[in-house]
Amino acid sequence: MRIRLKYLFLILLWMSVPVAGFGALIIEITEGVEGALPVAVVPFDTSELSSEIPVDVGEIITNDLNRSGVFKAMDRNALVARPNYSAQVQYSRWRDAGIELLIVGRIFQKAPGEYDIQFQLLDVLKQNQLLGYSLPVKKRKLRSAAHEISDLIYEQITGTRGAFNTRIAYIKSQSEEARKYILQVADTDGFNAQTVLESDEPLMSPSWSPDGQSLAYVSFENKRPEIFIQHLASAKRSKISGFKGINGAPSWSPDGKNLALVLTKDGSADIYIMNIASKRLRRLTRHRSIDTEPVWSARGESIIFTSDRSGAPQLYEIAVKGGKPKRITFEGKYNSAASVSPDGKYIAMVHAERGQYKIAQYERETGNLTVITDSSLDESPSFSPNGKMVLYASTEGNNGVLYAVSIDGRAKHRLSDQSGDIREPVWGPYKRRRKR
Amino acid sequence: MKRYFSISSLSLTGMVVILVSSCATVQEMPIQDDAADRQLQEEVTTADGTIAGDSDGVYATAMSDETLTAQQLLEQTDTVLANRTVFFEFNSAKLTDKSLAILEAHGNFVAGNGNVSLRLEGHADERGSREYNIALGDRRAQSSRQVLLFQGASIDQIDTVSYGEEQPAMLGHTEEAWAGNRRVEIIYRVN
């Protein structure tokens, strides 16, 4: 008996160690992940410029690379030298400092308000150039160009396209005297926030059009939930669904032609598909339970949704052409708000265990469910367009804050430049590639 | 539906008592609150000569609920109708006995006052996903609506909406705040 107890204690100890280690690892993420590639980004040379440049391109790249969890950038103050192009580089000094990749660059003035950013990605060990580009850029697009460089570096090293130069949408709420609800779009690092819509009544559930030009969302501006579509550049908006009862959870199909949505006009909450051009509706689910939060599979042939038909919310999948829904999740008593990775291999979701709401990732092939966040009120997971990160909302005090976590849960970062109560983040699609 | 029937037939009797007692409270108020006012009224009636009696019974009839507008009834703070919020368990739209009694009182009132309409606003606590909570708040508003309809309120008199977790009544991440936010609010409109 004594031995057994001892044995049990050992098992418990063994079980608790990796959990604690996992937590500690996440806290250290801003410092970089174990196994992350050591890189150095030298501040880009701006000495040729006639006036001061408003953006620190090198710093943006440094932050992007660190956030990915794939790279660990050397502190700027610790840089062993400050070369600006390959010919100035003494590789041995960087190798001795443990650096494997070096990024150097120069910014030239092309015309007033127009720049040319030249950069090189250098392999310290092989002492050669992996990547070299000259990017023409307008002043207001400087931050975007820096993210573009991060994307190129990320793709060169990992083989996967980077998603730094994309945008996110989210809902922000400010409670001064009267509560205001604001739909905003920002860069993936939280900068360049722009207001899309402001309202005295709740705004919810933003969904990107696959071309990144428009957002669908729910607005309570008429004291009830209705679905609107808004073109971002022109701010032109139209109500697309204003039936009696709930009009909710819009989700744009991958081909951009249809919207999956939730209506209660025929009874309990069910999933419908609306053709955006014709506004024609087709009912997809028919059940007295709650069916909600539809999202499209990667190729658009099925819809994954939340239903409490089993008694508690779980994820189900149904073919877009109709049929019998198939239950996907069985682990835990609360699984909802699915986000499908662009390759279709993973589903991120809100997963509750013992009253703690976390983000979990489900691998479709193996059926493995992995919890990837560690607070108690996490929600609204949304995959990055390259499927490597999951953006989600968490809570700090009475405010919502945004985080992004790598799909394996190892790298996590909080989005900067935030104030107010922020929630429901959705990661936008890739922008069109620049012609090269 | 069957359950509503059996409980509501019981509490209908209760409702009569409640309504009667609420009338009584109204009648008593001016008398107790302001003796001078009552005196003035008595003088007027005496001058008219139409009402000779000064008994409380005669006076009470004049102030019966026919003269109280629906608005006035709703403004009373010590009746069942003054309860404008019903609460729910986690992830549930099931009505407690107390909620049922409150909703039945509102149902009777609405059924008896054609010029009154109301809006049932369903809410959820912050836990879980937001659109699921919208659907949950809707389910709570719908189960409340069923009670009102059963008491004789007409479909046109009742509007429902769900705000999910978007408009909490209480801030914070405690059991207490969550319980206070899992609710249906009854918002009246008197035409």
Examine residue A400 and state whether it is found in any structural domain, yes or no.
yes
- Is A272 domain-assigned? yes
The answer to whether B139 contacts A249, with C-beta atoms less than 8 Å apart, is no
CB-CB under 8 Å, A248 with B129: no
In a shared domain, residues A281 and A145: no
Residue B70 touches chain A, beta carbons under 8 Å: no
Same domain, A94 and A173: no
Does one domain contain both A285 and A198?
yes
Distance in Å, alpha carbon of B166 to nearest chain A alpha carbon: 7
Residue A14 domain-assigned? no
Residues A274 and A178 in one domain: yes
Same domain, A312 and A201: yes
Measured CA to CA in angstroms, residue B49 lies from A7, A154, B36, B44 at distances of 99, 99, 20, 9
One digit per residue, the tens of pLDDT, for chain A of length 436 reads 343 433 433 333 333 333 332 322 222 333 346 789 999 999 999 999 888 899 999 999 999 999 999 999 999 999 999 999 999 999 999 999 999 999 999 999 999 999 999 999 999 999 999 999 999 999 999 999 999 999 999 999 999 999 999 999 999 998 766 789 999 999 998 889 999 999 999 999 999 999 999 999 999 999 999 999 999 999 999 999 999 999 999 999 999 999 999 999 999 999 999 999 999 999 999 999 999 999 999 999 999 999 999 999 999 999 999 999 999 999 999 999 999 999 999 999 999 999 999 999 999 999 999 999 999 999 999 999 999 999 999 998 888 999 999 999 989 998 865 578 899 999 999 998 876 6
Domain holding A141: CATH number?
3.40.50.10070
Boundaries of domain holding A296: 167-427
Which residues of chain B lie closer than 8 angstroms to A329, CB-CB? none
Domain count, chain A: 2
Query: Given A114, A140, A158, which residue is the final one in a domain?
Result: A158
Cβ contact, residue pair A380, B130, below 8 Å: yes
Residue A10 belongs to some domain of the structure: no
Residue B146 CA to residue B157 CA, distance in Å, equals: 12
Q: A126, A158, A190 — which closes off a domain?
A: A158
The CATH-assigned architecture of domain B75-190 is: 2-Layer Sandwich (3.30)
Q: Give the best residue of B119, B126, B129, B185 to mutate against chain A (max A CB count within 10 A).
A: B129
Among residues A158, A187, A211, which one ends one of the domains? Answer: A158
- A126 shares a domain with A228: no
Q: Are A117 and A29 in contact (CB under 8 A)?
A: no
For residue B129, give the nearest of A245, A264, A293 by CB distance: A293
Please give the residue of chain B at the shortest CA–CA distance from A351. Answer: B128
Backbone angles phi and psi of A29, in degrees to 5: -55, -40
Indicate if A101 and A182 belong to the same structural domain.
Answer: no
Residue A290, chain B, CB below 8 Å: the answer is yes
Query: Using an 8 Å Cβ cutoff, are A320 and A273 in contact?
Result: yes
Contacts of A249 in chain B (CB under 8 A): 131, 134
Where does residue A336 rank: exposed (0-12), middle (13-18), buried (19+ CB within 10 A)? buried
Residues A385 and A326 in one domain: yes
Do A345 and A243 share a domain, yes or no?
Answer: yes
Q: Are residues A171 and A215 in the same domain?
A: yes
Q: Are residues A174 and A149 in the same domain?
A: no
- Within 116-145 of A, beta carbons closer than 8 Å to B belong to none
Residue found under tokens 């402001």:
A198
A18 inside domain: no
Same structural domain, A209 and A132: no
CATH code of A314's domain? 2.120.10.30
